[in-house]
Amino acid sequence: MAQPDHKKFFENLSGAGKAIAVLTSGGDAQGMNAAVRAVVRMGIYVGAKVYFIHEGYQGMVDGGDNIEEATWESVSSMLQVGGTVIGSARCKEFRTHEGRLKAARNLVQRGVTNLCVIGGDGSLTGANLFREEWSGLLEELVQQGDIDAEAAEKYYALHIVGMVGSIDNDFCGTDMTIGTDSALHRIIEVVDAIMTTAQSHQRTFVLEVMGRHCGYLALVSALACGADWVLIPEMPPEDGWEDQMCQKLSENRADNKRLNIIIVAEGAIDNNNKPITTEKIKDLVVQCLGFDTRVTILGHVQRGGTPSAFDRILASRMGVEAVLALLETTANTPACVVSLSGNQSVRLPLMECVQMTQEVQKAMDEKKFEEAVKLRGRSFENNLRTYKLLAHRKTESELPHSSFNVAVLNVGAPAAGMNAAVRSAVRVGISEGHTMFAVNDGFEGFYNGQIKEIKWGDVGGWTGQGGSLLGTKRTLPAKHIEKIAEQMRKHNINALLIIGGFEAFECLLQLCEARPSFEEFCIPLCMLPATISNNVPGTDLSIGADTALNAIVETCDRIKQSASGTKRRVFIIETMGGYCGYLASVGGLASGADAAYIYEEPFDIRDLQANVEHLTEKMKTSIQRGLVLRNENSNENYTTDFIYQLYTEEGKGVFDCRKNVLGHMQQGGAPSPFDRNFGTKISAKAMQWISKKLKETYRQGRVFANTEDSCCLLGMRRRALIFQPVMQLKDETDFVHRIPKEQWWLKLRPLMKILAKYKTSYDVSDSGQLEHVVRNRPKESDASAI
């Protein structure tokens, strides 16, 4: 696929003659190394000198060997390593004027005027102060004779770009900070393991997770595992919460639930700002209910381990964006922080974000907790709203009066997160007053009458289950439309929620097209995209794709590690995805692949030969292991076997080859935290849309909806979750190859190539522009996936 010409861009924003330094400061977070790697390689790519500053601000103050020029090879094999390999330290000396004076001298001596800081709000605030004082510091250094006037004039301005590395996700202005998703992986791994032992002994477990001032990890992990109770600093429980919590635990046990999970943020407080500890909760449960109760404090386990696929991709995108921001900055540009909004990179003024982050704590200190939640941002607010919706079971008297029947079914191949979506739909539907029906085995089960009512308790514990507990088939409804209509009449189905991949999209189109002949389908119809291939039109992301990516990345890490200590080796790995190259491309970016072959970007024998030669050259000079990914349907002639044999032959004497077909392991396993929460939240949103449509279309004792906007797909587009009429998505779809005609992730492919040392053009049309922090965004733009 021809790459756009951006030579003009690189002439204007050349890094030649510039020096960039990168440091990590404050607490470590998984993914920091991926960000460092991206900054170094993108910096070298644009012609700049790049320096590591070891041990954070302490290394900047001490100078010497702590400030070291980075090479391309010096960041090899660090993508999959947790923590930060360049070190991080809290530095009291940098807080003093004398310390910052030393730091300025050390940077000027190396010609560094571009600083990329990866850390939390304290680290970024310190960087901004350093920038504001810079010209004064240089004047002092001239007066002391440490630098000459020419150097002071040449390096007159310091440019700062920040990336937020924090597992707490406590920084305002970004939906996700680097490290948060990996920390959630650690928490959910522990919770899943604890649930099996808790179930065996009918125990209650109280888990403490990190978050001294921010309850994000506690809240999202509670959503992801379906915890019975959660306590966070931003929303202290109301007076009398102890009795309410014990009553809820008791009710759950009465429903034959054999375990209880309570998640507590380490900074959890009550209405009087007094701490709520895990021991206090344990004693409360034992005294009031007599349940066998244990406490588990996760501690620094949450900071450790290898970064998740999400964090590697996020950090790589942010690292490249940070270099672009540094090249574009002028003396008058404020220090900015690179952020994530929905699926979009944005740049925000650093101090606006810091000030809002500080306002959150101020609001909490003043007991303005609702304001604190709003200031945390739309992602946090949406998570809290969804948790409350799913955790609180309304009594009969509290339920709204509704006589609507809503059916939910899965269609197509199973995808991790489908069960979380079904659970959310059932519980939100019941809370809205509807009677919920589950259809087993997709439309095949539908026309065979495998339809039954599903209750609140029936979906307990579904969130962490992989596959499809309802059963799913690829059968399309067109051939059995009359039988399906008959079942719709029989069960008086007033709305339908379909969860699945490309087949689900085709099913919805067929039902919509059948409306003129069958009034039974003149009802609200909604689809949620759920497929590991991520090939559904109308959405950037699908439920299940993140779990599959993590499976690919973990396997690639192990495969690469298997070659450590041996001679040079290249691995050829085949991924799933049909004709969609999402898993190969994004998996390649997350695992540090040298090439990824996909259908959307045609390649020929010359491209294969160029890749082999490029890899051979790299093998001779630096790297020991190579990784090449191939999408299963990328080319009918250049098969995985062909590519393996070609690399084996052409690499003789330099490297040997191995091949792996990952197969259905990409489809299995427990869903990732991202997929659990994405499925939960978009399903809740879909059910609320269905309720709204049912009320709008209910006339003269029946539901009648035949407009295009009553048959929609709920998808994530850049920063927004949007309901899109499926009839309008037909023109955006390649039905032969079952992929959208335009796919956003293709813009990430040049990024993978740049980080693999290829000369290529990089499309900057999608790069972030400096914006301002928005306090109250409209509800429909809530695209936060986690």
Contact 14, 47 (CB under 8 A): yes
One-letter amino acid of 167: I
Helix locations, 491-638, DSSP H: 502-513, 545-561, 582-591, 605-621
530: nearest Cα among 640, 412, 425: 412
Q: At which residue do the structure tokens 């920390």 appear?
A: 183
When computed from its CA atoms, the radius of gyration of the chain, rounded to whole angstroms, is 27
Relative to beta strand 656-661, strand 19-24 is unpaired
Give me the residue label for tokens 């492919």: 749
Kindly state the DSSP code that residue 80 receives in the 8-state scheme.
T
Are 510 and 478 in contact by the 8 Å Cβ rule? The answer is yes
d(CA 361, CA 350): 17
**SS3 assignment for 446-514:** HHCCCEEECCHHHHCCCCCCCCCCCCEECCCCHHHHHHHHHHHHHCCCCEEEEEECHHHHHHHHHHHHC
**DSSP codes joined into one string, 95-161:** GSHHHHHHHHHHHHHTT--EEEEEE-HHHHHHHHHHHHHHHHHHHHHHHHTSS-HHHHHHT---EEE
Alpha-carbon dihedral angle through residues 579, 582, 588, 594, given to the nearest 10 degrees: 50
For the chain, give the longest Cα–Cα distance.
91
CA 475 to chain CA mean position, Å: 31
DSSP state of 383: H
Report yes or no: 111 and 156 within 8 Å, Cβ to Cβ.
no
Does residue 62 carry a catalytic annotation? Answer: no
Element (H, E) at 376: helix 369-376
SS (H, E, C) 157-189: CCEEEEEEECCCCCCCCCCCCECHHHHHHHHHH
Rounded Cα distance between 317 and 347, Å, is 12
Alpha helices in 155-277 (DSSP H): 180-201, 216-225, 241-254
Sheet holding 49-53, edge to edge: 67-69, 49-53, 19-24, 114-119, 159-164, 336-341, 344-349
Q: Which residues contact 293 (CB under 8 A, 6 or more apart)?
A: 203, 204, 205, 206, 282, 285, 286
> Considering only CA atoms, which of 476, 539, 473, 534 is closest in space to residue 507?
476
Phi and psi torsions of 204, nearest 5° = -105, 130
- The secondary structure of residue 622, as a DSSP letter, is T
Q: Choose among 441, 380, 382: nearest CA to 688.
A: 382
Nearest in space to 181 (alpha carbons), one of 196, 163, 165: 165
222-225-226-232 Cα dihedral, nearest 10 degrees: -10
- The Cβ of residue 478 has, within 10 Å, a number of other Cβ atoms equal to 15
Among 62, 168, 181, 311, which one carries the catalytic annotation?
Answer: 168
Residue with tokens 């945390």, as numbered in its chain: 376
Cα–Cα distance for residue pair 175/73, rounded to 1 Å: 32
Count of Cβ atoms closer than 10 Å to residue 565 Cβ:
7
Asked if 161 and 326 count as a contact pair (C-beta separation under 8 A), the reply is: yes
Chain position carrying tokens 């923590």? 83
Residues marked active site are found at 168
